[in-house]
Amino acid sequence: MEDYFLLDQSLQPEERLIRDSVHEFVSEVVIPVMPDAFEKAEFPRFLIPKLAELGLLGLTLPTEYGGSGANCVSYGLVCQELERGDSSLRSFVSVQSSLCMFPIFSLGTEAQKKKFLSKMAEGKCIGCFGLTEPDSGSDPVSMKTNAMKVEGGWLLNGNKFWITNASMADLAIVWAKTKEGIRGFIVEKEFKGFQQNEIHKKLSLRASMTGELIFTDCFVPDENFLPGSEKGLSSALSCLNQARYGIAWGAMGAAMGCYETALSYCKERQQFNKPVAAFQLIQKDLVDMCCEIIKAQCLNLQLGRLKDNNQSNFAMVSFAKMNACREALKIARQARNLLGANGISLEYPVIRHMVNLESVFTYEGTDNIHHLILGKHITGLDAFV
């Protein structure tokens, strides 16, 4: 996509190198396999060691824990490129890095970091994040999953739903109610009373292994308790903020894929003896799509710089996630329309991106929730209660 405002000049050489490496990987390896993966509803697991080899799992974590020590802007650029391939791939990396490795790094003990993080960075240990429940989505305080303290550990009971990576995870970062409040636990797949089920018949994020986690008197030893989670629900929300930041970039990657496909198609498609791109209304749509992508990229880049300088806050992240998902979905729908009947064919990436974005628009905080977060920030009045 043309760099109209020369944003590349704002990137550091290392940031460009990371972005370009992932761009090549996505173009040559990911995009060719995603139509079949989407149609078969299978995650292409052979990509996991390749993601690890590129250093994309735990990208921003220190090298001593298996990370690459990259900055937040680099992570955003990676998410943008991965979702240009498919939302399921960016979701996998986002969950592994932001929702599993990050809480172990920021909330865990040194022993937990040494036990899990390097293996996760190598793609040899896959994680999932258990917060959402069948009756508890936007209101996590209403969760029913609970943990009771017993000798040597905790007994976990309840279930989590719509969990990315659930069916193939080696561990789950699980949030549960205790007498002291909501706390976090590392639940390993070998633990007795822990069951993982896959959710089928999805029409969005089909290549993502989404599932359910069930806990029936599941014993979690004390060494798997996340001590930093004693801050309560805010600990879980801090993880979500990491993921939401990546989604803001990722959604624009899907939008870029749709825009580039529509632009190429409209320049080649002939109707009434000329390319359809020569028609005024088609050009208007293409220009609108291009403008929203560039605006979001500028916003995302500024947010990344603020994060790298420890100047960002949760409201900024909500702003970026809300804006990117809303505009990306609009762009995907415009592109689908511009391709006509071909817009629903998996020979083109547009319909795949469009239906995936329906989920991206909703998860990690719905559009309405982000509006209310920003509404409270702007007015000082809490509309949640």
Residues tagged active-site: 364
Residue 365 · residue 138 · CB < 8 Å: yes
List CB contacts of 227: < 8 A, sequence separation 6 or more.
107, 108, 109
List CB contacts of 67: < 8 A, sequence separation 6 or more.
55, 58, 59, 60, 61, 101, 117, 121
Taking the C-alpha atoms of residue 195 and residue 191, their distance in angstroms, rounded to an integer, is: 9
Taking the C-alpha atoms of residue 234 and residue 177, their distance in angstroms, rounded to an integer, is: 13
Distances (CA, A) of 91 to 221, 230, 243, 254: 29, 27, 9, 12
Q: Is 89 exposed, middle or buried (0-12, 13-18, 19+ CB in 10 A)?
A: buried
